[in-house]
Every structure is written in C-alpha cells, then in structure tokens.
Chains A and B, each alone.
Chain A
Amino acid sequence: EIVLTQSPSTLSLSPGETATLSCRASQSVRSYLGWYQQKPGQAPKLLIYDASNRATGIPARFSGSGSGTDFTLTISSLEPEDFAVYYCQQRINWPPITFGQGTRLEIK
C-alpha cells in the first residue's frame, strides 16, 4: 500500500498570499496523483488530477506540480473561500486507492 504524507498539517496564511502544500508518496506514483478540497460539512471536491491537470471549473489560481514521490499544490492569491482542508490521492497502485492525511489551510 502506498502511503501519502502531507505537510504541513496546518498552514496559516492571509487572503492574497500564496499557499504551497506538499504531498510525498512512499514509492513512485509517476504522475498519478490528485488533489481534493474539503470544506466543513461537505464532501471532498476534485481540484487536480494526474499531478497538474485542473478539474472542470477549477480556477486557474490552483495549480499542481511534481512527479515520482514529491508533489505540490499551489494556490496563488488566496481567496476567503480557499480556506479548507486539502487531500492528495494516488491512483497508480491499487487496491487500495489511498489518500493523504490532509493539510488544513486556515486564515491567519
């Protein structure tokens, strides 16, 4: 089973700043990594698939990069609605499909 480790666990920033979130895989997942956003009381929402492709309707301020074992989600010019929990997920080695433990992005 591939373990995904996200860092930091909590990130405190102000609106307008840039957020950089990390996801590290226990073995290579090539580019088969996605990112989700989850707000309180809601289901996760797909943001990025295959490392760098934005899902339908996702604003351009969300971007993903990386390959192999190290991945980054960058959110530029943070909007108030961007403060949420973010999860990474791999799809190369399954079962099982696995998720990271999440990074909480909070308002400073």
Chain B
Amino acid sequence: QVQLQEAGPGLVKPSETLSLTCTVSGGSMSSYYWSWIRQSPGKGLEWIGYMYYSGSTSHNPSLKTRVTISVDTSKNQFSLNLSSVTAADTAVYYCASWNTAMVPYYFDSWGQGIQVTVSS
C-alpha cells in the first residue's frame, strides 16, 4: 500500500476554489487510480472522483461541473480543485487510491484527511 498525505488551506471563502494536493510515497504513480473522497456530518462519505495517470477520469455527477482532478507524476502528486464552493462543501477531504493489480473501486490506501471549512 502506498502512503498518502493531503495538503492545502483549511479555510476557503465562499465562491472561491478549493485546492488540495496529495503527495504519494511508496508506490508508482502508474500503478494506482487516484481518488478524492470527502466526509461531512450531514452527507457522510461522498466520493468526488478519480483519475489515472493516463488521463482516464470519472467524477461524481453531483459535483462534476465544479471538479478537476489532475495527476503530476513528476512530483508524485495528484490534486483536487473544487470551484465555486459554498458552506455545503465544508468537510474532511481524503485522498485515496486502489492498486491496478487489485479489485478496482475499493480504496485500500487513504490519507489522514484534511479539514476544509468554507466561510468568509
């Protein structure tokens, strides 16, 4: 399993863009699918989307027009941008992954999570 670590601002203003980065260690960027998941008291665990290093991607339809996920193999990182945020986007954001050699779409590696609050 790879090790994942989220980074980014803990406070974002309404209508701005939430930007988070996940740094990967202990594995090849081409051997995993990279995903973002968030957790809030009101909505529980919510899958945001995933991206593979080749560019293959999928997003939650409820967020699709606001979400961009990108992968930077040179930096061993992947990122999340969520635009036009509101208070409803306040949550703990996790980066997560599954290995291409394992059963897909189950997340066997997770970051520790980062609390992001949307407030002016």
Q: Which residues of A contact B (CB under 8 A)?
A: 1, 34, 36, 42-46, 49-50, 53, 55-56, 87, 89, 91, 94-102
- In the assembled complex, the CB of A91 is this many whole angstroms from the nearest CB of chain B, namely 4
Q: Which residues of B contact A (CB under 8 A)?
A: 44-47, 49, 58-62, 94, 96, 103-108, 110-113
Which partner residue on chain B sits nearest A50 by CB separation?
Answer: B103
Which partner residue on chain B sits nearest A100 by CB separation?
Answer: B44
Secondary structure call for the A interface: loop
Q: Which of B62, B105, B113 contacts A97 (CB 8 A)?
A: B105
Interfacial chain A residues near B106, Cβ < 8 Å? 34, 46, 49, 55, 89, 91
A-B contact pairs, 21 of them (CB 8 A): A1-B61, A42-B112, A43-B110, A44-B94, A44-B110, A45-B110, A46-B107, A55-B106, A55-B108, A87-B44, A87-B45, A91-B106, A95-B49, A95-B58, A95-B59, A95-B60, A96-B61, A99-B44, A99-B46, A102-B44, A102-B45
Which partner residue on chain A sits nearest B113 by CB separation?
Answer: A43
User: 19 other contacts beyond A36-B107, A46-B106, A97-B105, with CB at 8 A cut-off?
Assistant: A1-B61, A34-B106, A42-B112, A43-B112, A43-B113, A44-B110, A46-B107, A49-B106, A53-B103, A55-B106, A55-B108, A89-B45, A89-B106, A95-B61, A96-B60, A96-B62, A99-B47, A102-B44, A102-B45
**Is the Cβ of B45 less than 8 Å from the Cβ of A99?**
yes
